[in-house]
Structure 1
Amino acid sequence: MKTSDGVRLEMELGIEPNEGERFPGVAVVCHPHPGFGGDMHNAVVRSMATAAWEEGYVPLLFNFRGTGRSEGTQSGGVNEPLDVDAAVTYARKLATDGRVLLMGYSFGAKMCTMWLNGGGKATAFVGVAVPSTTDYPDYSDVPSLYITGEFDDVAPLDDGLSRSLMTGGLHVVVEGSDHFFHR
């Protein structure tokens, strides 16, 4: 999978497709900040991929630029929306009707919102622990679900609620959890 600026990204699909095989829906799952050890093997990301699979979506996980076996250099969010775009573009080719569920955890959720705010389109968006530094959304036409830990100090409860109200999205609070969903 390659970005529009030529960076090859490491990716993993939840099922090995046969030549030309397509799926009813694909879920692109974006990982937390690579500068803090985040990658597509993160436990929360894997849980999100499992949840997508259980809802009938084939999960597509990838590493942002400069992470794992992905080429390029991490840019702290400047160029990573291009990575989201490459993943969604690839996912659309695999989905029979272009149905792509966009999911992100922490930094990954922020990159998803940046991509959506820049005009990207997805069937739906799930943001888990969306950092409070994230711009408020301008994608109210995309059904959205925000999941926040009750004691998250990176993505505070009040911010998640505000974001969900602005988009008409749903907001779920995981009681007793922090940003890492440790209980």
Structure 2
Amino acid sequence: MPEVIFPGPEGRLEGRYHPQKAKDAPIAIILHPHPQFGGTMNNRVVYNLHYAFHKIGFTVLRFNFRGVGRSQGEYDQGIGELSDAASALDYLQAMNPNSKHCWVAGFSFGAWIGMQLLMRRPEITGFISVSPPANMYDFSFLAPCPASGLVINGASDRVAKPQDTRILVDKLHEQKGITITHQEVEGAGHFFEDPHMDPMIESVQTYVRRRLTESSR
């Protein structure tokens, strides 16, 4: 998988880019967890999400936020990281101008950034939000949430409490014109340690495949 360096707001950003042969393949960016708590694009959840999307037929980009790995800049409380995500999407779209579908997937802190990106970019047609930290960050900007998506979390998550995720999902359910699918993986913690990774990834793939089938009708 090619390593790529592309321009970000604070200098270069480092990523892994995995194209499809089809010129009109759907595209997805994958966003990693908190940079100050060891989050990188090589996090296991992020890595597995990347390959899950590629297996379905997406051209995929995951990257390191500013200050992580070879990406330049410093941690910026989520504000700069959102700008990084927008730059990553710009790069991915420039490389794939014929793509008909655009998705964003994020894990933990990356889920929070992904949902903000969703609000700014109307071309995003679907999202995957894994272990969204609704107990740590304000998600009230999702008013209204502009696209349908999947929220998936571990039923035994001690970092992003399941009850807070349920409250977030209940609020999103009240909005018209979109469908929020919510799944809890029984016994799974925040990081979906084995044996819970495979069931989570299978749920994501099933959901994304169904959405693509529906949109092609």
Give the TM-score of the pair, scaled to structure 2. Answer: 0.75
Could you tell me whether the CA contact under 8 Å between 2:31 and 2:111 is conserved in 1?
Answer: yes
Whether 2:165 is the aligned partner of 1:160: answer yes
Shift of 1:176: 0.4
Residue in structure 1 matched with residue 14 of structure 2 by the alignment: 10
1:87 Cα deviation (Å)? 1.1
Are 2:148 and 1:147 equivalent residues in the alignment?
no
1:48-87 equivalent positions in 2, closer than 5 A: 48-87=49-88
**Structure 1 77/173 Cα, relative in aligned 2: closer, same or farther at 3 Å?**
same
Q: Kindly state the Cα deviation for residue 153 of structure 1 after the two structures are TM-superposed.
A: 2.1
Q: Find the counterpart in structure 2 of residue 39 from structure 1.
A: 40
Shift of 1:73: 0.8
Report the alpha carbon displacement of residue 159 of structure 1 after superposing the two structures with TM.
Answer: 2.4
Q: 1:16 to 1:70 in 2, by over 3 A?
A: farther
CA–CA distance in structure 2, aligned partners of residues 14 and 158 of structure 1: 36
Runs of 4+ deviating beyond 4 Å: none
Structure 1 unaligned blocks of 5 or more: none
Q: What is the CA-CA distance between 1:86 and the residue it aligns to?
A: 0.7
2:190 corresponds to: 179
The 3 A distance-change label for structure 1 pair 95 and 151 is: farther
Structure showing greater radius of gyration is 2
Aligned-pair CA distance for 1:154: 2.3
State how far apart, in whole Å, the 2-side matches of 1:144 and 1:68 are. Answer: 30
Judge conservation of contact 1:24–1:95 (CA < 8 Å) in 2. no
8 Å contact 2:20–2:59 — kept in the other structure? no
What is the CA–CA distance in structure 1 between the aligned matches of 2:92 and 2:53, rounded to whole Å?
14
Q: How many residues align?
A: 178
C-alpha spacing 1:38/1:6, structure 2 compared with 1 (3 Å):
closer
Deviations 1:2-42 (A, max 9, x none): 23x3421101112488xxx8341111000011111110111
CA distance in 1: counterparts of 2:10 and 2:90, whole angstroms: 14
More helix by share: 2
Paired residue for 2:107? Answer: 105
Distance in 2 between the 1:143 and 1:55 partners? 18
TM-score if structure 1 supplies the norm length? 0.88
SS in 1 for 2:79: coil
Identity across aligned pairs (percent)?
31
